[in-house]
Homo-oligomer: A and B are copies of this chain.
Amino acid sequence: MKLYDGGRAPNPRRARIFLAEKGIDVPLVPIDMGAMGHRSAEVTERNPIQRLPVLELDDGTVITESVAICRYFEELYPEPALFGRGALGKALVEMWQRRVELHLLACVAAAFRHIHPAMIEWEVPQIPEWGEANKPKALAFLDILDKHLENNAFIAGGDYSIADITGLVAIDFFKPARIQMPDHVTHVKRWHEAVSSRPSAKA
């Protein structure tokens, strides 16, 4: 199998961190998204939605969407469990993974895509007003997350999970999205230091 990878963008990084946490080595096919490689024929014939990452199995079957790729490996290699354990545990990981994705990562991505000059060919039409509107949305969710992390080591509770991976790539994207991390979210900062210090964060 091989993983068509998109470098520093949040979703490709999400899949790489997940694989590093699982200790799974998948050959990468680097795609230069800066040169619009995600819209090349090579990627488009595998993923008509033209997004990365894309996992291609040996029989040619394609799995796209970073979380779907992660779930494939979770099912094949259940340990360490990164999607939770038991009905309630799995539901709470899904809940937090979705909260962080929809109310943090999506907002940070929208701020980046709709404001950053480098994104003018990617996001058509670029609507800076929508990009700006997403910054306070991201910060409002950060306050909810901060309160939650006061009593939880990790985003979905006591154990590291895919929700932490989504949170990490979202917060590390504040800088290109030009969102300033507020000083008062001390629990988010403690958590961010902890997840950033894991070897997988370098993936």
Residues of A with Cβ closer than 8 Å to B? 48-49, 57, 61, 63-65, 67-69, 71-72, 75-76, 86-88, 90-92, 94-95, 98-99, 103, 125, 127, 129-130, 133, 141, 144, 147
Asked if residues B144 and A49 are in contact (CB atoms below 8 Å), the reply is: yes
Q: Which residues of B contact A71 (CB under 8 A)?
A: 90-91, 94
Provide 11 A-B residue pairs closer than 8 Å at the C-beta atoms, listed in order of the A residue. A48-B144, A63-B91, A63-B92, A64-B95, A65-B94, A68-B91, A68-B92, A71-B90, A75-B87, A75-B91, A127-B130
Asked if residues B98 and A67 are in contact (CB atoms below 8 Å), the reply is: yes
Closest CB of chain B to A135's CB: distance in Å? 12
Asked if residues B86 and A75 are in contact (CB atoms below 8 Å), the reply is: yes
Measured CA separation A127–B91 after assembly (Å): 33
Asked if residues A49 and B103 are in contact (CB atoms below 8 Å), the reply is: yes
Measured CA separation A151–B92 after assembly (Å): 35
Q: Which of these, B49, B64, B91, B144, contacts A69 with CB under 8 Å? A: B91
Measured CA separation A40–B143 after assembly (Å): 19
Q: Which residue from chain B places its CB closest to the CB of A125 in the assembled complex?
A: B133
Closest 5 CB pairs of A and B: A75-B87, A72-B91, A68-B95, A68-B94, A130-B130
